[in-house]
């Protein structure tokens, strides 16, 4: 696999824009260190279903094709913005373009919402403005192909997961063997290539933010932990549920899924650390180990095939392992805390 994006060009443009922004900042009046910004902070939120908070109702844009982004009216950007306002920090949200199913490349390419239709949303970078001062969101999981990984490990998702995008990585391999599939041979090679792509695309994302919003603080938000360290907890259904949190995914595959998620978290953290001009990372994985899908009443993640709050007609969509309201609130708190820290520097 080789990189096909035009990063060198964008990198040069971004460097020039960042340098110009730095000069303008130096020329401006000095603020007092540690003080919250007095003026509203122009902000753009971007991302995929974990920023949109798929599964939480009601959704934005009802009555239009954009409803199929499944962006919750009360997603973590909305809740985090409210938390910050309570602390005297006002975000002027110019746009929240988070959309379920978004890959990292949909930051600079339009996204098809439903296969077989002409319903699309424009590139998320179109929301950025020269005066945007904060850009935050979550991306990477769909580029990795986490849905395909889940389908590789679950017969139920292969047959009942039609609404979950993607096919198993290798449908000829039995779901019961998915753990060893991803640890050797073709499965491991596929996974290595996917992680490489995530790293490249996140590099491109940061460069584009630096170019289109040169003065913006950049915040990449990681994903909450799905699988606990003690996977025996996943053999019990959550209170009031009949499905196991990870449905029929084999118990011996759960640690492998956790290792894959930990590796994704590390790739995202490294991309933020290496971003030219600086970027921050919200490490949700490290701080949600007691709120996984298998933590019963304390869980912050809805189980794979448990009913979410979102309905299509008379059918309730499954959570597909997305944050419930408790998980959304955890996301919002940690994002708000990081933004407060950044803006008070």
pLDDT tens over the chain, length 345 residues: 333 444 444 444 444 343 334 333 333 333 444 566 779 999 999 999 999 999 999 999 998 889 999 999 999 999 999 999 999 999 999 999 999 999 999 999 999 997 777 889 999 999 999 999 999 999 999 999 999 999 999 999 999 877 788 899 999 999 999 999 999 999 999 999 999 999 999 999 999 999 999 999 999 999 999 999 999 999 999 999 999 999 999 999 999 999 999 999 999 999 999 999 999 999 999 999 999 999 999 999 999 999 999 998 888 999 999 999 999 999 999 999 999 999 998
99, 111 contact by CB (below 8 A): yes
d(CA 234, CA 225): 13
Active-site option among 101, 145, 187, 303: 101
Active-site option among 60, 75, 138, 142: 142
Active-site option among 47, 187, 322, 324: 322
91, 41 contact by CB (below 8 A): yes
Cα→Cα distances 165→114, 157, 169, 171, 272, Å: 10, 11, 12, 14, 27
322 is annotated as an active-site residue: yes
Q: Cis ω on the peptide bond leading into residue 58 (within 30° of 0)?
A: yes
The string over 219-249, giving b where at least 16 C-beta atoms fall within 10 Å of a residue's C-beta and e elsewhere, is bbbbbbbbbbeebebbeeebeeeebbbbbbb
- The residues, any chain, with a CB within 8 Å of residue 129's CB and separated by 6 or more, are 42, 44, 94, 212, 213
Element (H, E) at 78: helix 76-86
pTM of the model: 0.89
171, 155 contact by CB (below 8 A): no
The 10 Å Cβ neighbour count of residue 189 is 11
Owner of token pair 């996140």: 202
Active-site option among 47, 49, 98, 324: 49
278 is annotated as an active-site residue: no
49 is annotated as an active-site residue: yes
């Amino acid at each position: 696999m080789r990189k096909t994006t035009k990063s060198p060009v964008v990198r040069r443009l971004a460097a020039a824009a960042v340098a110009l922004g730095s000069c303008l900042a130096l020329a401006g009046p000095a603020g007092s260190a540690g003080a919250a910004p007095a003026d509203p902070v122009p902000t753009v939120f971007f991302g995929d279903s974990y920023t949109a908070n798929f599964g939480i109702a009601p959704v934005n844009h009802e009555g239009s094709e954009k409803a199929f982004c499944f962006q919750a009216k009360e997603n973590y950007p909305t809740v985090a913005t409210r938390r910050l306002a309570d602390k005297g920090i006002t975000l002027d949200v110019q746009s929240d373009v988070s959309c379920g199913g978004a890959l990292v490349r949909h930051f600079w390419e339009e996204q098809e919402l439903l296969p077989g239709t002409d319903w699309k949303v424009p590139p998320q970078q179109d929301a950025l403005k020269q005066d945007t001062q904060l850009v935050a969101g979550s991306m990477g999981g769909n580029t990795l192909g986490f849905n395909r990984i889940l389908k590789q490990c679950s017969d139920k998702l292969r047959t009942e997961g039609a609404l979950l995008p993607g096919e198993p990585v290798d449908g000829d391999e039995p779901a019961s063997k998915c753990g060893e599939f991803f640890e050797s041979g073709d499965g491991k090679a596929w996974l290595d290539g996917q992680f490489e792509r995530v790293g490249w695309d996140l590099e491109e994302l940061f460069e584009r933010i630096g170019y289109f919003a040169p003065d913006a603080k950049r915040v990449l938000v990681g994903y909450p932990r799905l699988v606990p360290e003690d996977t025996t907890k996943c053999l019990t259904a959550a209170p009031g549920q009949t499905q196991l949190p990870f449905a029929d995914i084999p118990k011996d595959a759960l640690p492998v899924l956790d290792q894959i998620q930990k590796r994704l978290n590390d790739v995202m953290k490294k991309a933020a650390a290496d971003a030219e001009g600086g970027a921050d990372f919200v490490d949700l994985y490290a701080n949600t180990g007691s709120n996984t899908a298998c933590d019963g009443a304390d869980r912050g993640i809805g189980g794979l095939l448990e009913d979410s709050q979102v309905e299509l007609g008379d059918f309730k969509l499954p959570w597909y392992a997305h944050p419930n309201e408790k998980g959304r609130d955890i996301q919002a708190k940690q994002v708000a805390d990081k933004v407060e820290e950044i803006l008070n520097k």
